[in-house]
Structure 1
Amino acid sequence: MNNSILVAIAILTQGDSVLMQLRDDIPGIIYPGCWGFFGGHLEPSETPEEALEREILEEIAYQIPRTKIQKFGVYSDELQSETLKSVHRHVFQVPLTVFLRDLILNEGWDMRLLNQQAAQDGGAYSEKAKKWRPMPAIHQQILLDFYKQYKE
């Protein structure tokens, strides 16, 4: 996969909501100031599941219950970048079994449980940002697909 990046991301569910991260609003990162899923890139020798566990622990200090990880799908899209041509996302559904107050946000601007309406709206309000923030189209599509399957 030349000029591609592999990532593992989590649909962290609690009831009928999904925990999302408001990415930092700084230049040079992908999707700055947008709502997205927690997770990140795979290290060279990692499986997607191992990367997911590591990233979630780093980002919000949450130890994923390993036996509860369910593969949701793989989503790929092309980037408008000279260095990266595409992103391949391994998406997993994982229950969030702790209160938000028990999580430590180590990466990102804000975090919030978002519902199906936020997926349909393509974003949500952030108390920390003090304004409505969008989500990238690919993240919105994953969330819409999740809610479609969730309701079935």
Structure 2
Amino acid sequence: MSNQAAVAIAILYRQDKFLLQLRDNIPGIVYPGHWGLFGGHIELDETPDVAVKRELLEEISYSPPILSKVSCYTDAQVVRHVYHAPLTVELNQLVLSEGWDMSLLTLEEIRQGKAYSVKAAQVRPLGLPHQQILLDFIDKFSRNFT
């Protein structure tokens, strides 16, 4: 049996911006104080498809009309099942239930690997795996995000 954690995460986009969560800045969590994609651990006996939908409802009270699997990223610690969906509501219609902040980041902010948070009142870095996943996605679907 593998010691890898399994997570399901979602790339949510609106026009040419991407919704990211600023993770809480507390010791002991993965990438504290970093921007990352919404999602989380896959529960026992739960499929990645079910997990990503549950996590989006728990974290931002959002249920995408369409959710498609993009890819799977695996390293020594974690298997990340990556999905994508359009964000079909305004940011103020989302309810942030987990994390420090959320924001629609531009392509430039993603490429730079950092973005300003209103709630933190400072520029915070993107988690490196999340930045790479977004850059790969943008590259793959560049005709939609340029």
Which of 111, 115, 128 pairs up with 1:120?
A: 111
> By how many angstroms is 1:150 displaced?
2.2
Query: 1:20 & 1:151 partners in 2: Cα distance?
Result: 19
Partner of 2:120: 129
| Count of aligned pairs between the two proteins | 143
Query: 1:23 & 1:133 partners in 2: Cα distance?
Result: 10
Query: 1:58 & 1:119 partners in 2: Cα distance?
Result: 25
Partner of 2:70: 72
Query: 2:100 & 2:10 partners in 1: Cα distance?
Result: 18
Query: 2:69 & 2:2 partners in 1: Cα distance?
Result: 24
Which of 115, 118, 129 pairs up with 1:138?
A: 129
> By how many angstroms is 1:41 displaced?
0.5
Query: 2:109 & 2:73 partners in 1: Cα distance?
Result: 20
Q: Which runs of 5+ in 1 are unaligned?
A: 79-85
TM-score normalized by the length of structure 1: 0.91
- 2:24 alignment partner, SS class: coil
> By how many angstroms is 1:77 displaced?
2.5
Contact residue 77 and residue 138 of structure 1 kept, 8 A:
no
RMSD: 1.0
Q: Which runs of 4+ in 1 moved over 2 A?
A: none
Contact residue 40 and residue 55 of structure 1 kept, 8 A:
yes
- TM alignment of 1:6-45, pairs within 5 A: 6-45=6-45
Tell me the amino acid that sits aligned with residue 69 of structure 2: K
> By how many angstroms is 1:138 displaced?
0.8
Which of 66, 79, 85 pairs up with 1:88?
A: 79
Contact residue 5 and residue 87 of structure 1 kept, 8 A:
yes
Q: Which runs of 5+ in 2 are unaligned?
A: none
Contact residue 5 and residue 88 of structure 1 kept, 8 A:
yes
Query: 1:100 & 1:148 partners in 2: Cα distance?
Result: 25
Q: % of aligned pairs identical?
A: 54
TM-score normalized by the length of structure 2: 0.94
